[in-house]
Chains A and B, each alone.
Chain A
Amino acid sequence: MAEKKSLGKELTKGIIAENPVLRLVLGTCPTLATTTSVESAIGMGLAASVVLICSNVVISALRKVIPDKVRIPAYIVIIASFVTIVQMVVKAFLPSLDEQLGVYLPLIVVNCIILGRAEAFASKNPVLASAVDGLGMGIGFTAALFLMGAVREVFGAGTFLGNSIPFLSENPMLIFILPPGGFFVFGVLMAAVNKLAESKGKKRAELRGCEACPMAQNCALNKKEVAES
């Protein structure tokens, strides 16, 4: 029973309390770049989720085999293999999505959420828990991208999933789907999420800079900043 309860917790924490994009501020690059439409936002979210779940499972299964010193390169190889598989599947079956995501599809390799979860969770937990953690984080990531994509597509193009919306489609605010709109919508979304979190007595999401980076403990910049302060 206790086992079941904790698995449920692993699943839900990624969606709300520790949402990778809105609470942990990870994976900002794809969040800004691939949310010009709902379709590409969901496509990106799902592609990254598949990679996240698969790599979490494999890394967790191999956690006792991988030597500690070379774990980061080992994780990167595992993640890159799954990204390549996803890339091939998308190219074969969803060529239009492949075109929309372009360079951001192979760039899932360097998505900090995936390497971050590998380092923080999958390397220390059993396979099933890691899979559930990956699923939860994946859903959280996809939900955040969907939210961004919906706002930007509705206001920027006046459509939702390609269906035009009466008033807005005649007066689309193009700036929303241009790069500045991405920063702006994300900024306002973060302000709203922070406000909500504060009203529930939680801490506001802050940019944690190096702390959030999976490479942080190998990085001298981190040590230098500590030494300076």
Chain B
Amino acid sequence: MTKELISILLTAILTQNFVLAKFLGICPFLGVSKKLNTAVGMSAAVIFVMALATAVTYPINKFLLVKLDLEYLQTIVFILVIAALVQLVEIILKKYMPALYNALGIYLPLITTNCAVLGVVILNVDSGYNFAQSMFNSVGAGLGFMLAMVMFAGVRERLDSCEVPKFMQGLPITLVAASLVSVSFLGFTGIVENIFG
């Protein structure tokens, strides 16, 4: 049981990395990764919201939608729950934990329309995970997002001091750099299966 959970966690972080293998959350990956501290703040907020969204949507799906045969409403319900949840968390943080709000709160509105959060919730349902498996998958996806963001922020800081041919400057070279980071993650293919198989 624990073995299985750890394998789900590692798969979500390394082999099936949300950003570099599944292409979810590319907008913040390219947009907010210019500086290391913003990258860390954004990913911490993503991990938090992913875990919370899974914890809330799992019972809603299981005890409401599946029970009443309303599975086709999943997309609408999930996105609304996530949007409401993010608003709620923002209000609570602002009122009771201003320090945390200053660190994470500013990223919250951005996360509502982040496809990684809705993506992880839908993937959990599609894979038929139980509650513990869903939570591990979500936290793993969030940690994987953080790993990719932090690595890429480092790459981009180095990139700034390089001389890039004019036609590749800006977005093209950023994408090619992302491609190389993604190649490095291909190296993890099969590693989880080999450890736990």
Give the B-binding residues of A (Cβ under 8 A): 25, 28-29, 32-33, 73, 76-77, 80-81, 83-84, 87-88, 102-103, 106-107, 109-112, 115, 175, 178-184, 186-188, 190-191, 194-195, 204-207, 209-210, 212-215, 218-221, 224
Contact = CB atoms under 8 A, between A and B. Distances in A.
B106 A221 contact: yes
Contacts of B99: none
A204 B171 CA distance: 10
Contacts of A28: 23, 26-27, 30
Given A29-B27, A76-B80, A187 B175 contact: yes
Contacts of A204: 170
Given A187-B175, A215-B112, 20 more contacts: A28-B23, A73-B80, A76-B79, A76-B113, A84-B76, A110-B79, A110-B118, A112-B27, A175-B183, A180-B179, A180-B180, A183-B176, A183-B178, A187-B172, A194-B171, A209-B34, A213-B110, A213-B113, A221-B32, A221-B109
Interface string B102-120: 0001110110111100110
B171 A80 contact: no
A99 B138 CA distance: 22
A213 B27 contact: yes
B31 A213 contact: yes
Nearest to B20: A179
B172 A207 contact: no
B126 interface: yes
Interface string B25-58: 1110011101000100000000000000000000
B63 interface: no
Contacts of B173: 187
A183 B174 CA distance: 9
Contacts of B123: 103
B110 to A, nearest CB: 5
22 contacts: A28-B27, A29-B26, A33-B23, A73-B80, A76-B83, A80-B75, A80-B76, A102-B126, A107-B122, A109-B79, A175-B183, A179-B20, A180-B182, A180-B183, A182-B23, A183-B178, A190-B175, A191-B167, A191-B168, A213-B113, A215-B112, A221-B110
A169 B23 CA distance: 26
A184 B186 CA distance: 14
B73 interface: yes
Q: How large is the interface on B (under 10, 10 to 19, 20 to 34, 35 or more residues)?
A: 35 or more
Contacts, number: 151
A184 B75 contact: no
B121 to A, nearest CB: 10
A194 B122 contact: no
Interface of B is mostly: helix
A204 B185 CA distance: 30
B175 A109 contact: no
A29 B29 CA distance: 10
Contacts of A103: 119, 122-123, 126
B105 A107 contact: no
A190 B118 contact: no
Contact of B179 (A84, A88, A187, A220): A187
Contacts of A182: 23, 179
B61 interface: no
Contacts of A221: 32, 38, 106-107, 109-110
B135 to A, nearest CB: 18
B72 A29 contact: no
B76 A191 contact: no
Contacts of A29: 23-27, 115
